[in-house]
Chains A and B, each alone.
Chain A
Amino acid sequence: MTIIDEPLALESGETYAEKPLGILTRPQAQGGWKDWVSTVDHKKIGIMYGVAAMFFFVVGGFEALLIRTQLAFPDQGFLSADLYNQIFTMHGVTMVFLFIMPLAAAFANYLIPLQIGARDVAFPRLNALSFWVWLSGAIFLNTSWIVGGGGANCGWFCYSPNSGIVFSPTHGVDFYAIGLLITGIASLVSAVNLIVTCLNMRAPGMDLMRMPVLTWMLLVTQFLLAFALPVITVALLLLLFDRTFDSQFFDPDAGADPLLWQHLFWIFGHPEVYIIILPSFGIISEVIPTFSRKPIFGYTAMVFSGIAIGFMGWGVWAHHMFVSGIGPISVAAFSLATMFIAVPTGVKILNWLTTMWGGKLHFTTAMLFATGTVAMFTIGGLSGVTHSLAPADTQQTDTYYIVAHFHYVIFGGGVLGLFAGAYFWWPKVFGHFLNERRGKINFWAMLIGFNLTFGPMHVLGLQGMSRRIDTYSAGYGFDFWNLMSTIGSYLIAVSVLVFFYNVWKSKKEAVDLPPPGPDPWDARSLEWSVPSPTPEHNFDEVPRVESFDHWWFQKYEIDDDGKVVRIAETEAVAQDGSATGVHLPSPSFWPLVLAIGLPLIGYGIIFNLWLCVVGGLLTGGAIYAWVFEPVDDPDAGHDHDDHHDDEDGDDELTAVGAGSAGDEDGEG
C-alpha cells in the first residue's frame, strides 16, 4: 500500500478537464448536510437507513399504542371504526416496509462490504439511490394522512375487492399502492447491488463458503427481494390501474377473480416473511459464536439451511389462503410444504443451541437479545406449524391467534435480533459502547412487554376473538387478556424509550470512557480488524483471507491438543486506519434528485397528471445527468506510478467508480 500525503480522495471532481453539459461536476462537500445528502459511502448510507428506520419504528409503534389503547377495555370509542382500520393498516405497512426492511438494509449496507473485505458496494451511487428512493416512498406513503383523506384502510395485504374504489373511496389505497411501488424500486435496486457486491467484490481468498453467516443470510435475502418484488409490483400496478383507469382486474361483477390478488400478494408476501427474518438469523449467527467463545456450529448446514429456506419460501404462499376455497389438492400440497419448511428452520435453531452448548457464555446485552430471539422465534415457529394443519388453520384464520403467531415471528424473531445487532455493532459504527446496564433494562423490559402483549393474543384467538375488529363487547372473556396485552404494549414502548435514552446518554458518557478499540468483543469476522468507528476507506490493505473466521485465526490458533492458544494481541494484527490516498467513489447529488421525482409522479397520478410531467422530467433528467456524470478518474490527484503499486483491492474500487453508470437505471 502506497502512502500519499494527501487527504482521502473524496474530492476527485477537482481535476476534471471535461464537464459534460457544463453543470455536472461531482460534489465536493466534506462534513455538514451536503456531505450526507450526496454521500455514496455504504457506511453513511447504512447509518441513514438505520436512523430513518428507527423514526418509522416510532411512527408504527405509536400506531400500535393507539390500537392497544382502543382495545384495552370493551366497547370503547377512542377511535372510530374507520380510523381504526386506517391505523392498523398503516401500523402493518409501516412496521414491515418502513422499519424492519430498512433496518435490515442498514445492517446489509454497513456490514456486507466490511465482512467480505471490500471498500464499498459494487454500485455506490445506486446504493445512495436505494436509500433516497426508499425514503421518498416512505414519506409519500405517510403523507396520505394529510392529503389523501386518511391512510389506507384495507389491511397490510389489502385484499380485493375491498381495496377497490367502491369500498375504499379515499386516496389511502392509492397512496398504499404507489408508496409501496416506490419503496419496491428501492429494494430491487438495492438487491441487485448487494448481490453483485457479494458475488464480485470479495477480498482475495474470501470464497463463498468463507463468508460470514450474516453475509450469507443477507445474500439470500437479496435474492428473495429480487424475485419477490416484481410480483408485488405487478399486483400493485393492477390495483392502481383498477382504481385510476377503471381496468377490470379485481371487479368480480365484471368476471374478474379476486383470488388473483391473493395469489400475487402472497407469492410476494411469504418470501417477504423470510426477507424480514433472515437478516436477524444472520445477526444472531454472529453474536452467539462471539459470546459463546466458540465457532458457529455447523457452518455449512447454517448456510445451506438458509438457502433452503430461501427456496422453500416460494412454495408455501397458499397457506395464507386455506379458507379461500383453493381446493383440497392445493391445500394438501401447501400444508405439506409448510411443514417441510420447518425443517431447515429447526436446523438453524439446533445449530445456535449447539453453538452455545459447552461454550463460555457471556451474557452481554447483545447476547441476551440473541438468545431472546432464538427462544421467541421458536415459539412463533411452533405456532406456525399449527397453521400448517389446514383443519386447525381454518379455525385460526382471521383470529388473534394469527396476530400472536406473526408477532412472535416478526417481533420475537426479527426485531429482537436487529436489536442484538444494534448493541453488537454499535461500537464499530459509532466508536463507543451502548451502556450495558441500561441495555439490560432495555432487553428485559422489551422481552417481558413483548410476551405480555402477544402471549395473551394466543388465548384471545383461540377463544374466537376476530382480528381487525375495532372493539368488542364485554362478557366474552376477552376483557382481561386484552387489558394485559395493552399493558404489555406500553411496556414495550418504555423499553424503546430506554433504548433511545441509552443511545443519547451513552454518547454523552463516551467522552470519559476509553475507546472500544477495533475488536471490543474479541469477535471473529473481518469488520473487527479495522478501527472503530470504521475509517472512510474501510481497510488500509485489503485482507487476504485464508480460512473461515479468518480474523479470529489472526489472534488465535488451535494447538495439537485441540486447545485454543492466543498467538497475537488484537492491536498487533488489527489495521490502524492510517492509509491515505485510497480511491473512494465520489459523492453525487443525482440519486437524491432522481428520488425526489418519483413521489411527484405519484402525486401526479392521484391528483393532477401535470405533476407527472414535472416528476418525470426530474427523474428522466436525473438519469441522464447520472449516466453522463464524470466517473472517478483512477489517476486523478496523484502520481500515476503510485496507482500501479497499489493493492488490488484498490483497483477493484476503480472498477466500482467506473461501474456506476449502468444502463439498468433506465428502468427506474
Chain B
Amino acid sequence: MSTATATADTHHDHDPHATNTGISNNKLAMWLFLSTECLLFGALISTYLLYKTRGNGGVLPTDIFDIPFTSVSSFVLLMSSLTMVLALSAVGRGDMDRGKAWLLVTAMLGGVFIGGQVYEFTSFYREGLGYTSNPAASAFYTLTGFHGVHVSLGILMLMSLWVSAQQGKLTPNNAETVEIVGLYWHFVDIVWIFIFTVIYLIPPA
C-alpha cells in the first residue's frame, strides 16, 4: 500500500481506458464476434454450394435469379456502407444533426434492401421455389434469410442509436459506439458481396 502512494503521481496522465492492445474492449469484442460470424456464414455458404444443383426434379434457385434486380438491391446495400461512414464521421466531428440524418439514411437503405429481399422471396415462391421444395431451395432461403436477419438486426441497432441521439444520450463521446455498430454493418455488407458473387453471379457448372 505504501508503494502505491509513492507511485501515484506518475499515473496522473494515465488513460483510464487504456488496454494492453490499445483497442477498447468493446471494439475488440466486436471484431472477435465478427470473426466467429465468418464461420457461421462459411458453413451456410458451403451448404448452399453443396446443394445448389440438387433440385430433386424441381425449380433451382439459379434458374430463376433476377440478376439485374438483385444487382440494384446489392448496390443499395453497398451505398449504405458509405452513409454509415458519413454518419460516423459526422458524429466524430460533433455534428450530431448530420450524424443522425446519416444514421437514418443508412437504416433506410438497409430497409430498402430488406424490402427487395421480401419481394425476391415472394416472386421466387410464386415461381414454384418453396422453402421445402428441394435441398437447393432450403439452402438458398436459409443462407439469404440469415443474411436478411443480420441486416434487420443492424437496422434495429442503427435505429436504437438514432433514438438515443434524439434523446440526447448519444454524444460525440460515444462515437466509438457508432463505430462498433458500423463495424457490424460493414461486415454484413461484405458478407453480401460474397453471397452475391458466389451464389448469384457464378453460374452452375
**Which partner residue on chain B sits nearest A227 by CB separation?**
B39
- CB of B130 to closest CB in A, whole Å: 10
Of B16-24, B96-104, B197-205, the stretch lying at the interface with chain A is B16-24
Decide if B1 touches A663 in the complex (CB within 8 Å): no
How far apart sit A199 and B50, CA to CA, in the bound complex (Å)? 37
How far apart sit A655 and B18, CA to CA, in the bound complex (Å)? 8
A192 proximity list for chain B (CB < 8 A): 29, 32-33, 36
Is A234 engaged at the interface, CB distance under 8 Å to the other chain?
yes
Decide if B36 touches A652 in the complex (CB within 8 Å): no
- Of the residues B36, B54, B156, B181, contact of A188 by C-beta under 8 Å: B36
B157 proximity list for chain A (CB < 8 A): 663, 666
B20 proximity list for chain A (CB < 8 A): 199-202
How far apart sit A192 and B24, CA to CA, in the bound complex (Å)? 13
Decide if B44 touches A234 in the complex (CB within 8 Å): yes
Given contacts A230-B37, A257-B50, A264-B43, contact A248 B138 (CB under 8 A): yes
Decide if A231 touches B39 in the complex (CB within 8 Å): yes
How far apart sit A646 and B1, CA to CA, in the bound complex (Å)? 11
Is A656 engaged at the interface, CB distance under 8 Å to the other chain?
yes
Q: How big is chain A's contact interface, by range?
A: 35 or more
Is A634 engaged at the interface, CB distance under 8 Å to the other chain?
yes
Q: Mark B19-61, 1 if CB is under 8 A from A, else 0.
A: 1110111101110110111011011100100110011100000
A648-668, CB < 8 A from B: 648, 651-652, 654-656, 659, 662-664, 666-667
- CB of A253 to closest CB in B, whole Å: 9
Decide if A655 touches B19 in the complex (CB within 8 Å): yes
A200 proximity list for chain B (CB < 8 A): 19-21, 23, 25, 28
B26 proximity list for chain A (CB < 8 A): 659, 662-663
A122 proximity list for chain B (CB < 8 A): 25, 29
How far apart sit A655 and B16, CA to CA, in the bound complex (Å)? 7
How far apart sit A540 and B3, CA to CA, in the bound complex (Å)? 12
Number of B interface residues at 8 Å Cβ cutoff, please give it.
55
- CB of B73 to closest CB in A, whole Å: 23
Is B81 engaged at the interface, CB distance under 8 Å to the other chain?
no
Is A139 engaged at the interface, CB distance under 8 Å to the other chain?
no
How far apart sit A566 and B5, CA to CA, in the bound complex (Å)? 28
Chain B interface mostly = helix
- Of the residues A248, A578, A651, contact of B137 by C-beta under 8 Å: A248
Given contacts A247-B138, A540-B1, contact A647 B180 (CB under 8 A): no
How far apart sit A404 and B15, CA to CA, in the bound complex (Å)? 55
Q: Mark A523-554, 1 if CB is under 8 A from B, else 0.
A: 00000000000000000110000000000000
B126 proximity list for chain A (CB < 8 A): none
Q: Mark A224-248, 1 if CB is under 8 A from B, else 0.
A: 0011111101110110010001111
Is A325 engaged at the interface, CB distance under 8 Å to the other chain?
no
A646 proximity list for chain B (CB < 8 A): 8, 11
Decide if B132 touches A248 in the complex (CB within 8 Å): yes
B117 proximity list for chain A (CB < 8 A): none
Is B139 engaged at the interface, CB distance under 8 Å to the other chain?
yes
- CB of A516 to closest CB in B, whole Å: 23
How far apart sit A245 and B133, CA to CA, in the bound complex (Å)? 12
**Which partner residue on chain A sits nearest B34 by CB separation?**
A664
Decide if B16 touches A541 in the complex (CB within 8 Å): no
Is B142 engaged at the interface, CB distance under 8 Å to the other chain?
yes
The A-B contact count (CB < 8 A) is 167
- CB of A186 to closest CB in B, whole Å: 14
- Of the residues B30, B54, B142, contact of A664 by C-beta under 8 Å: B30
Given contacts A230-B39, A245-B131, A662-B29, contact A644 B138 (CB under 8 A): no
A233 proximity list for chain B (CB < 8 A): 40
Is A558 engaged at the interface, CB distance under 8 Å to the other chain?
no
**Which partner residue on chain B sits nearest A249 by CB separation?**
B138
- Of the residues A256, A264, A659, contact of B135 by C-beta under 8 Å: A256
How far apart sit A647 and B39, CA to CA, in the bound complex (Å)? 40
Q: Mark B98-125, 1 if CB is under 8 A from A, else 0.
A: 0000000000000000000000000000
**Which partner residue on chain B sits nearest A267 by CB separation?**
B43
Is A1 engaged at the interface, CB distance under 8 Å to the other chain?
yes
How far apart sit A93 and B151, CA to CA, in the bound complex (Å)? 34
- Of the residues B14, B39, B50, B138, contact of A651 by C-beta under 8 Å: B14
**Which partner residue on chain A sits nearest B12 by CB separation?**
A644
B74 proximity list for chain A (CB < 8 A): none
Is B177 engaged at the interface, CB distance under 8 Å to the other chain?
yes
- CB of A19 to closest CB in B, whole Å: 13
Decide if A541 touches B3 in the complex (CB within 8 Å): yes
How far apart sit A122 and B28, CA to CA, in the bound complex (Å)? 10
In order of increasing CB-CB distance, the 6 nearest A-B pairs are A1-B4, A247-B138, A200-B19, A230-B40, A234-B43, A230-B39
Q: List 23 A-B contacts (CB under 8 A).
A: A2-B5, A193-B29, A195-B28, A201-B20, A226-B32, A226-B35, A227-B36, A231-B39, A247-B131, A247-B138, A248-B56, A248-B135, A249-B47, A251-B135, A579-B1, A627-B160, A646-B8, A648-B11, A648-B18, A655-B17, A663-B157, A663-B177, A664-B30
**Using a CB–CB distance below 8 Å, which chain B residues touch chain A?**
1, 3-5, 8, 11-12, 14-21, 23-26, 28-30, 32-33, 35-37, 39-40, 42-44, 47, 50-51, 54-56, 131-135, 137-139, 142, 153, 156-157, 160, 177, 180-181, 184
